[in-house]
Amino acid sequence: TQVGFGAGGPHFCLGANLARRELVVAFEELHQRLPLIRSTAEPDYLQSNFINGIKRLPCTWN
Protein backbone atom coordinates (compact mmCIF):
# COMPACT_ATOMS: atom_id res chain seq x y z
CA THR A 1 0.00 0.00 0.00
CA GLN A 2 1.34 3.44 -0.94
CA VAL A 3 1.05 5.95 1.90
CA GLY A 4 2.20 9.01 -0.06
CA PHE A 5 2.75 11.89 2.35
CA GLY A 6 1.51 9.73 5.23
CA ALA A 7 3.07 9.10 8.60
CA GLY A 8 6.08 7.20 7.34
CA GLY A 9 6.73 3.53 7.05
CA PRO A 10 8.23 1.48 4.23
CA HIS A 11 6.22 3.21 1.49
CA PHE A 12 6.75 6.82 2.58
CA CYS A 13 7.20 9.17 -0.37
CA LEU A 14 10.90 10.00 -0.76
CA GLY A 15 10.04 13.32 -2.39
CA ALA A 16 7.61 14.46 0.33
CA ASN A 17 9.98 16.99 1.89
CA LEU A 18 10.87 18.47 -1.50
CA ALA A 19 7.19 18.69 -2.47
CA ARG A 20 6.33 20.44 0.80
CA ARG A 21 9.18 22.92 0.29
CA GLU A 22 8.03 23.60 -3.28
CA LEU A 23 4.55 24.42 -1.97
CA VAL A 24 5.97 26.81 0.64
CA VAL A 25 8.02 28.61 -2.03
CA ALA A 26 5.04 28.73 -4.41
CA PHE A 27 2.78 30.31 -1.79
CA GLU A 28 5.49 32.77 -0.70
CA GLU A 29 5.91 33.88 -4.33
CA LEU A 30 2.16 34.12 -4.81
CA HIS A 31 1.84 36.29 -1.70
CA GLN A 32 4.77 38.49 -2.80
CA ARG A 33 3.22 39.07 -6.25
CA LEU A 34 -0.39 39.34 -5.06
CA PRO A 35 -0.21 40.70 -1.49
CA LEU A 36 -3.93 41.58 -1.45
CA ILE A 37 -5.20 38.11 -2.42
CA ARG A 38 -8.22 37.04 -0.37
CA SER A 39 -10.52 34.04 -0.41
CA THR A 40 -14.11 34.80 -1.44
CA ALA A 41 -15.74 31.57 -0.25
CA GLU A 42 -15.13 28.50 1.82
CA PRO A 43 -12.84 25.88 0.26
CA ASP A 44 -14.34 23.03 -1.74
CA TYR A 45 -12.73 19.88 -0.33
CA LEU A 46 -11.94 16.73 -2.28
CA GLN A 47 -14.40 13.91 -1.71
CA SER A 48 -12.11 10.89 -1.69
CA ASN A 49 -11.13 7.95 0.46
CA PHE A 50 -7.56 8.19 -0.80
CA ILE A 51 -6.62 11.89 -0.89
CA ASN A 52 -7.27 14.76 1.52
CA GLY A 53 -7.07 18.30 0.29
CA ILE A 54 -8.72 21.35 -1.15
CA LYS A 55 -10.18 21.02 -4.63
CA ARG A 56 -11.11 24.66 -5.12
CA LEU A 57 -10.68 27.92 -3.21
CA PRO A 58 -12.20 30.94 -4.96
CA CYS A 59 -10.04 34.05 -4.54
CA THR A 60 -9.89 37.68 -5.58
CA TRP A 61 -7.05 40.19 -5.68
CA ASN A 62 -6.35 43.81 -6.58
Report yes or no on 10 lying in a domain: no
pLDDT at 7: 61
Report yes or no on 36 lying in a domain: yes
Report the Cα 6 to chain-centroid distance in Å: 14
Report yes or no on 53 lying in a domain: yes
11 neighbors 1 (Cβ within 8 angstroms): yes
The residue range of the domain holding 38 is: 16-60
Report yes or no on 47 lying in a domain: yes
Domain count, the chain: 1
pLDDT at 52: 81
Report yes or no on 6 lying in a domain: no
Question: Taking the chain (62 residues) in consecutive chunks of 10 residues, what is each chunk's mean pLDDT?
Answer: 59 83 95 95 90 90 90
